Chains A and B, each alone.
Chain A
Amino acid sequence: MITAGNTVFRTRGFGMIPEDILSTAPLPERFASQAAAMLLEGETPLFTIVGDLDLKGRYNESALVVTDRRTLAFDQYHAGGVYVAEHAQVDKAFVKRMYGNAVLRVALRGEAPRDIFRFTYSVASLCDAAALFAENIAGGGDVRQEFDIVKATFDKKKSFCPKCGRALGQQGAACISCTSKSTLVRKFAKYVRPQLKLMVLCLALSLVTTAMALAPPYVTKTLVDTVIPNKDLNALLMLVAILLSVYIVQYTIGAVRGYFMRIAGDRIVAGLRNDIYEKAQYLPLSFYDKTSTGSVISRVSGDTSTLQAFMLRITQEAIIQFFLMIGIIVIMFLMNWKLTLLSLTPIPLVVLGARYFGKRIAPVYRKIWRRWAAVSSILTDTLPGVRVIKSFTGEQRSAEKFESYNNEWLIEDRKAAKLSNIFPSAVTFFVTCGSLLIWGFGGKWVIQSPQNISVGMLVSFISYAAMFYGPVNFFATLNDTYQNSLTSAQRILDVIDAEPEADFGKGNLVKKVKGKIEFRNVNFSFDRIKKALTNINLVIEPGDIVGIVGTTGSGKSTLVNLIMRFYDAYEGEILVDGVNIKELDLESYRSKIGYVQQEPIMFKDTVFRNIAFSLPDADVEQVIHAADVANAHSFIARLPDGYDTMLGERGVGLSGGERQRLSIARAVLKNPSLLIFDEATAAVDSETEHLIQQAIERLISGRTTLMIAHRLSTLRKANKIVVVDKGEIVEFGSHDELMALKGKYFKLIEIQSMSEKIRAGKEAERFE
């Protein structure tokens, strides 16, 4: 142990590290010893960040050691290998995000800003915390309080499964990937288990038909060796009759078994599809940001069928073929062990071939899947947008694009076709060689010593040998099916095993929401390149009507997305009525919020059911009342089919304003405690806007409301305005207060007033 000042350092073999220091990784020894040697009396190291880039942008060791007094940045390109910044001298400290990397930039009082530490995004959020720490300490902040914020960021970073490294919803949460069953069979066994009785029945029927299938070759032997040479007509007729009965029973049982197998298989795949679809509903938006809907659709439709075929093969065919193989081998050995050994000689070649083939085909199947998912993606992206394609005469371009993706799939599928046809043919060839061996040697033994092996026995043996290669071929090609299914299984497990939206507050139901919303030190980015929200601190009292304004891309929608808990990976806290929203039951929490989007989504269903989507048990009058409040009832009544009108995928048949009012009716029906309007009047004319505004006014009375707005008329209703710019809140107050400031809000209102005057003028002239 070494003491430096009041700090005790414990030697760990990597350097000198204070026992309770926070760190991303073990500090490299040379930095640790250098840092220890530089510590002043009474100075306490608080945390370290180990970087992976040097200041020139090459992969190299670098580190940041932050104490209660200073920041020490270790990099070979600093004079003496270290740059020291005293917190008290810091004028500005921030992280400049770039493309694929970032730098910690510090400006000391009276000096120009300087890059002191460079890193990839692996430690970007921690460096944000370090910069904020230094700035806040320089501004007189309390070390302990500021350190707690840093510690929270570190804790979040540590929320990874120690076994597989997957991000967890919170520290200590169970890792779905590692706690779920490790083998494919066990994971999917739960879909097979409900059909167990039916499958056991099918198996029993199969064993009966298999046993029956073993009989005819033996009967053939008797026919050839005894009945026909003896010209025994009665015996012949009897044997033929027995064979006929056996075949009738065999094929009848086969048909029944086939029917039950189909039912079992369909139930299995239906169960799988239900699970995938249901799971997909609960996945966070960040999953859909990264995974195309075409890919998810492929998994629900195609992959489940592939997996169904494999599961049936494993649970039925494999067992039957195994028993068949054993039965045939036993009979063959009993008939003639020499011929049996001869017929088994091609087997090693078949087995080795299967292994080699498996390794070659797996990557090909993976590629085929990716190509097919790309094709599905094109379909789901472009066909709903056919209106856009037509209006920009893009039909030919669209078709060419689809053709190129389709061709890529074709190329990969052809590679698989080559491989998956060459192999079975090769197997069949080896099997045929085996039969030739039997004919050659067997025939010779019949000619030379007919007392040992008769013609009937040889013919019977050939039949059994041919039957034997059925199971051999089955097991040889099982690998092909397995590889194909493995890819599908992994795709399905991607969805089933994906971390659902974190609901750690499950069960903690929200009873009543008064409507106080607080943002505390909230930082958020979708990717690491650009921060969408920076240091958001905001308090909204119950009943406040808050207008959120800002230019496009300023972070307004992101703010409401976080309140809706569409994204959870933010730093800081969001509280409703003093409770962290992450600690509330997700479903219960969202049920208290009415959310009206800018682009209302209508499902392919009736008007009634679209409104009642928010409250499925609502009765007719509740829905009509909600439509009334939303000023939608009058236009619905004018529709030929009224509330039974079928709406298209995108609410086809309704204008933008009508869709918006239906969307508001949905929110009304929900009777929410909190309301969020995301530019609800963005794309409508002023007459429709007036109707929507009226509807909104009825709805918001007495409820805490957040309205992303750029219309002056909307903002006038708000008693508080939040002005967002580049992810930060730049102004907050009432309309009058902000107008008096003559800042950003004032400018936005001026521009808005001018454009509204022009618009009103155009409408007055009926000029479009």
Chain B
Amino acid sequence: MSERTYIEYDNARITRLDGLALRVEMYDGRVFENVEARRLFPITGASRYITLLDEDGVEQAVIRNLKNLEPDSRKAVEETLAQYYLVPKITRVLACTEKYGKLTLKVETDIGEHRFEIKHVNTDIKVLFDGRVFITDSSDNRYEIPGLRKLDKKSLALLSPYL
């Protein structure tokens, strides 16, 4: 089994190609074309351990920590991740109603206002250890509340019974 290639600091230059594709030039001369970035820990470690997969889904390299990359490389990777991972961050809960066991939420997010339904309140709202909340709606779309304590009082009061 070959050793995993880790990318960190300046041992690679990453540039953006079309769509989600990236080009990685390692300092040792190796080049990976048309790779796509995926988070290995999309919930608990968004900027750590980003795997780079080729067109067949085979891992070519892993970025240990995005924050340690050179600025241009970091920007290229972050842009593709932002496009791939759509997890709107809820900034305010405008309305929350429950009927027939289904919860309907109207929220303000970082990408606009949205309304969605949650079918299984007990399983589709997860509070993480660091105070973040992950919500899955009835269409399997994901949402995040970056910090429960940062929500305004009204939003917290609306959501609190379901946490």
A253 to B121, CA, bound (A): 46
* Closest Cβ neighbor of B98 among chain A residues: A490
Q: At the interface with chain B, which of A56-64, A311-319, A641-649, A739-747?
A: A56-64
Confirm or deny: B84 has a beta carbon within 8 angstroms of a beta carbon on chain A: yes
Contact A59 B86 (CB under 8 A): no
Take A57-B86, A290-B123, A291-B123 as given contacts and tell me if A100 and B163 are in contact as well, using a CB distance cutoff of 8 Å: no
- Rounded to whole angstroms, the CA-CA distance of A227 and B160 in the bound complex is 63
Q: Which B residues touch A292, using CB under 8 A?
A: 123
Complex Cα spacing A706 to B42, Å: 37
Please name all residues of chain A whose beta carbon is closer than 8 Å to the beta carbon of B30 when the two chains form the complex: none
Q: Report A359-372 CB contacts with B as 1/0, cut-off 8 Å.
A: 00011001100100
Q: Is there contact, CB below 8 Å, between A178 and B100? A: yes
Please, which residues of chain A bring their CB within 8 A of the CB of B85? 98-100
For residue A714, CB closer than 8 A to chain B, the reply is: no
A59 CB contacts on chain B under 8 angstroms = 88, 109, 111-114
Identity of the chain A residue whose Cβ is nearest the Cβ of B82 in the assembled complex: A57
- Measured in the bound complex, the distance between the Cα atoms of B77 and A404 in whole Å is 37
| Chain B: interface residue total (CB-CB under 8 A) | 34
Could you tell me which residues of chain A, from 152 to 166, have a CB within 8 Å of some CB in chain B?
164-166
A166 partner, pick from B42, B84, B86, B100, beta carbons under 8 A = B100
Known: A370-B122, A527-B140. A112 touches B18 (CB 8 A): yes
Measured between alpha carbons, how far is A165 from B162 in the docked complex, in Å? 20
B112–A99 contact, CB under 8 A? no
- Select which of A53, A100, A113, A164 is within 8 A of B99 by beta carbon: A164
Judge whether B139 and A494 touch: CB under 8 Å. no
B150: Cβ under 8 A from any A Cβ: no
Report whether B84 and A367 are in contact in the complex, using a CB–CB cutoff of 8 Å.
Answer: no
User: How far, in Å, is B46 (CB) from chain A's closest CB?
Assistant: 11
Q: How far is the CA of A60 from the CA of B111 in the complex (A)?
A: 9
- Interface flags for A270-298 (1: CB within 8 Å of B; 0: not) read 00000000000000000000111001000
Do A529 and B140 form a contact, CB below 8 Å, given A59-B109, A99-B42? yes
**A164 pairs with B161, CB closer than 8 A:** no
B58 to chain A, nearest CB (A): 12
Is B142 an interface position by the 8 A CB rule?
yes
Q: Is A373 an interface position by the 8 A CB rule?
A: yes
Asked whether, in the complex, the Cβ of A98 is within 8 Å of the Cβ of B140, the reply is no
Q: Report how far A241 CA is from B136 CA in the complex, Å.
A: 71
- Measured between beta carbons, the chain B residues less than 8 angstroms from A290 are 120, 123-124
Q: B101 contacts the other chain (Cβ, under 8 Å)?
A: yes
Residues of B close to A370: CB separation below 8 A: 122
Per DSSP, chain A at the interface is mixed
B84's partner among A99, A527, A726 (CB-CB below 8 A) is A99
Q: Do residues B141 and A122 form an inter-chain contact, with CB atoms below 8 A?
A: yes
Which residues of the other chain, B, contact A7 by a CB distance below 8 angstroms?
A: none
Give the residues in chain B near A363, CB-CB below 8 Å: 160-161
Select from chain B the residue with minimum beta-carbon distance to A526.
B140
Please name the residue on chain A nearest to B143 by beta carbon: A100
The reply to whether A177 and B100 form a contact with Cβ atoms under 8 Å apart is yes
Determine if A121 is an interface residue (Cβ-Cβ < 8 Å).
Answer: yes
- The interface bits of chain A over 338-371 (1 if a CB of B lies within 8 angstroms of the residue's CB, else 0) are 0000000000000000000000001100110010
Chain A residues bordering chain B, tally (CB within 8 A): 40
Across the two chains, which residue of chain B brings its CB closest to A289? B123
Please indicate the chain A residues that have their CB under 8 angstroms from the CB of B18 in the complex. 112
A366 with B162, Cβ < 8 A, contacts A60-B112, A100-B142, A121-B139 known? yes
**Within the assembled complex, what's the spacing in Å between the Cα atoms of A113 and B18?**
9
Find out whether the CB atom of A122 lies under 8 angstroms from the CB atom of B86.
Answer: no
Q: Is B117 close to A, CB under 8 A?
A: yes
Contact B122 A373 (CB under 8 A): yes
Closest to A59 in B: B112
Complex: how many Å from CA A100 to CA B109? 14
Say yes or no: is B148 at the interface (Cβ < 8 Å to chain A): no
Q: Is A454 an interface residue (CB 8 A)?
A: no
Interface set, chain B 8-33, CB cutoff 8 A to A: 18-19
Q: Which of B73-87 contact A (CB under 8 A)?
A: 82-87
- CB nearest neighbor in A for B140: A528
Contact with A along B114-129 (1 / 0, CB 8 A): 1001011011100000
The yes or no answer to B153 lying at the interface (CB within 8 A) is no
User: Measured between alpha carbons, how far is A494 from B121 in the docked complex, in Å?
Assistant: 11
CA distance A528 to B136 in the complex (A): 11
- Report Cα–Cα, A295/B122, bound state, in Å: 9
Q: Is A413 an interface residue (CB 8 A)?
A: no
A122–B148 Cα gap in the complex (Å)?
26
- B102–A99 touching, CB < 8 Å: no
Q: Which residues of B contact A (CB under 8 A)?
A: 18-19, 42, 57, 82-88, 99-102, 109, 111-114, 117, 119-120, 122-124, 139-142, 160-163
Q: 11 other contacts beyond A59-B111, A99-B84, A494-B101, with CB at 8 A cut-off?
A: A52-B114, A57-B82, A98-B85, A99-B87, A120-B139, A164-B99, A165-B102, A165-B117, A166-B100, A291-B120, A366-B161
Binding site for B on A (CB under 8 A): 52-53, 57-60, 98-101, 112-113, 115, 120-122, 124, 164-166, 177-178, 290-292, 295, 362-363, 366-367, 370, 373, 490, 493-494, 497, 527-529, 726
Instruction: Give me 15 A-to-B residue pairs in the complex whose CB atoms sit less than 8 angstroms apart, sorted by A's number.
Output: A57-B111, A58-B111, A60-B112, A98-B83, A99-B42, A100-B85, A100-B86, A100-B141, A177-B101, A366-B161, A367-B163, A370-B122, A494-B101, A527-B140, A528-B140
